[in-house]
Amino acid sequence: MLTLQSYAKINWTLEILGRRPDGYHELRTILQTVDLADTLHFSLLDHDISVHCDHPDVPTDERNLVWKAASLLRETAGIDRGVSIEIVKRIPTAAGLGGGSSNAAVTLLALLQLWQLDLPLRQLFSLASRLGADVPFFLVGGTCLGVGRGDEIYPLAGIEVSHLLLVNAGILVPTREVYASLPPELTKPEATVKMPLSLELAHEAVSARLNSVRTGAQEGSGHDEGAVPWRAGLLRNDLEIPVLPRYPELAQVRRQLVELGATDSLMSGSGSTVFAIFDNDQTRQEAAATLRGSGWWAEPVRTVGRSEYRSRFSALHRDADHHR
């Protein structure tokens, strides 16, 4: 049996640059892994792909991204191998935290080893992109710039925050509905005009140390060497424009987080999780206790840098690098 952690993500920024000719939206987003994680257990089978999960809302048939990842990899490799995958969920589902995408990426990495496949890394990223826009990011981890549909991933110097709080009020926000409700100024086909600014924004995000808040990061916390502290005022998510008016509870979560001492807060992805940044752990823990008292899910987390992320999959990444 092989057991791996499958980490969640947040989006420091998410900009809609326009509508693409293929019908998708051109994105520019800065993604970040955090230390909230599902646990996946893999066991070899002769032929079948079998998925099990302890969460009642997670499908375990062909609809599950983990099942799709295993099936797609098997088809691509032209083999008839099987696997049993048990998912122990801690990441809320349909919450903008990338749980399903993370599970799919970890499944690809695990099966490269278990099925002893010689697959070029470029092809692995292509398969990940076919599974979903967020899946390629979870092959890399840390802080990354995502462009295109969000699936073209460019590693950045890390952004470190030790005192994050994730909050979910249990609201289902359909992603299709969110994108369908974007205002016209965000869906004009002018993305290629704006795209040259992508690397400039990325550089701004990871190099500017002015106006940063104290993060309380400790030596040995797992942050990357050269990682920069959080810079106040960077947060931006264009998907809040259609979501917050339709779901005022999420706007209430953001307001209450600020009232409870957060220095910054934002909806992650298409929602419905909101994350907040705190100066210290005591204020964060007090905020979490208050929000849990309101019946909301609240989980303290920290950022996970790319070196720490890769170390959790070190043997698997060595195999992937060997197959490059």
- The residue from 9, 68, 224, 264 that is catalytic is 9
The DSSP code for 90 is: -
Q: Is 75 exposed, middle or buried (0-12, 13-18, 19+ CB in 10 A)?
A: exposed
β-partners of residue 165 are 276, 300
Distance CA(186)–CA(208), nearest Å, equals: 27
Strand 143-148 and strand 25-45: the pairing is: antiparallel
Nearest Cα to 134, choosing from 94, 166, 76? 94
| Residue 134 designated active-site | yes
- Residue the block writes with tokens 């979501």: 243
- The residue from 38, 68, 134, 264 that is catalytic is 134
| Residue 89 designated active-site | no
Distance CA(170)–CA(297), nearest Å, equals: 8
On whether the CB atoms of residues 200 and 131 are closer than 8 A, the answer is no
Residues recorded for the chain:
324
Q: Is 188 exposed, middle or buried (0-12, 13-18, 19+ CB in 10 A)?
A: exposed
**Segment (H or E) for 31:** strand 25-45
Active site residues: 9, 134
